[in-house]
Amino acid sequence: MSDLQNITQTLISGDGAALRGLVEEALGAGVSAGEILQDGLIAGMDIVGERMESGEMFIPEVLMAAQAMGESVEILKPLLAEGESSTAGKVILGTVKGDLHDIGKNLVVMMMESAGFDVIDLGVDVDPEKFVEAIKENKPDIVGISALLTTTMPMMKKSIDSIEESGLRNNLKIIVGGAPVNQAFADEIGADGYAPDAGAASKMAKAMYA
Ligand code: B1M
């Protein structure tokens, strides 16, 4: 089995310590942090998702895999950084109300921070009013909204509507993303951009801020 396949299988098993060891080993063997993330860890999470859907894996096992992934992403974090230190602008990020998925959102935080943005992470289950309050308080250039559930996608629109109704929409760019989201939905709810992954979100933010 290749290093990356081993990482995928160990992530699925939820053994965080073994996974960290394999990630360190792969890095030592010259596998890039980007490959480990995409072809090892995210590939594993996709299989976890399929097994969750088919009832082969249950929530506690999925949580163990998610925890193991988070710990390994911490190892990769400095290596995925683009090395830009100057502040590119301020970003507020959060996963919408009713949604507890944060791995993808955390990757977006990481990529934006490493691109030089000052990122305020509101976490998960973020109420539209909390976005509004955070914008008033921090005056960001960009707001990023994540959702992983089809049932919480409407909350993206509610969040954007609340920002608009509070008179804060001008001079603010809004990027949306998450597995069920696409460009058509982003257009429909009045977002300025849709990014399919964390790298694209960071590039889009840079282009918007430039
Ligand atoms: Co949940 N879950 N989950 N889950 N979970 C999914 C999303 C699901 C597709 C699994 C499945 O059935 N196949 C399914 C959703 C189905 C749907 O709505 N169509 C699902 C379900 C149903 C649920 C529950 C309802 C299950 C239940 O309780 N019966 C429940 C809901 C809880 C809630 O939120 N209220 C639930 C719970 C959980 C756990 C808590 C156990 C755990 C989350 C732990 C955590 O996040 N800390 C969990 C997990 C781990 C998953 C899967 C397996 C993996 C998600 C993940 O982290 N992927 C997921 C299946 C899957 O996605 N394959 C699933 C890896 C991550 C890197 O990808 O988050 O897509 P992702 O992020 C990507 C892009 O989407 C993008 O960038 C990232 C890549 O670079 N992106 C952005 C994300 N946000 C962005 C924002 C941007 C731009 C890009 O700009 C701002």
d(CA 38, CA 50): 17
d(CA 61, CA 50): 13
| The CATH fold of domain 3-79 | 1.10.1240
148 Cα nearest atom in ligand 1: 7
Those residues with Cβ within 8 angstroms of residue 146's Cβ, 6 or more apart along the chain or in another chain: 93, 94, 95, 96, 99, 101, 102, 104, 105, 108, 176, 177, 178
What are the angstrom distances between the C-alpha of 170 and each of 34, 92, 142, 153, 173? Answer: 35, 15, 11, 23, 8
- The CATH classification number of 90-209 equals 3.40.50.280
User: What is the distance in A from the centroid of ligand 1 to the CA of 42?
Assistant: 11
- If one counts every other C-beta atom within 10 angstroms of the C-beta of residue 139, the result is 12
Domain ranges of the chain: 3-79, 90-209
When the pLDDT of each residue in the chain is averaged and rounded to a whole number, the result is 94
Say what the pLDDT of residue 42 is. 92
Is the CB of residue 99 below 6 angstroms from any atom belonging to ligand 1?
yes
pLDDT in tens, 166-192: 999 998 999 999 999 999 999 999 999
Place of tokens 């990630």: 23
The ipTM, to two decimals, is 0.99
pLDDT bucket at 201, cuts 50 / 70 / 90? very high
Q: What share of the chain is helix, strand, coil (3-state, %, to 5)?
A: 60, 10, 30
Is the CB of residue 150 below 6 angstroms from any atom belonging to ligand 1?
yes
Ligand 1: residue of 48, 121, 148, 152 to mutate (most ligand atoms within 8 A of CB) is: 148
| pLDDT for 95 beyond 80 | yes
Q: DSSP string spanning 51-106?
A: HHHHTSS-HHHHHHHHHHHHHHHHHHHHHH-----S--EEEEEEEBTT----HHHH
d(CA 121, CA 115): 15
User: What is the distance in A from the centroid of ligand 1 to the CA of 101?
Assistant: 5
Ligand 1: residue of 35, 52, 126, 202 to mutate (most ligand atoms within 8 A of CB) is: 52
Is the CB of residue 45 below 6 angstroms from any atom belonging to ligand 1?
yes
198 Cα nearest atom in ligand 1: 80
**What is the pTM (predicted TM-score) of this model?**
0.93
Average of pLDDT values for 141-168?
Answer: 98
d(CA 67, CA 46): 15
User: What is the distance in A from the centroid of ligand 1 to the CA of 37?
Assistant: 16
- 108, 141 Cβ separation under 8 angstroms: no
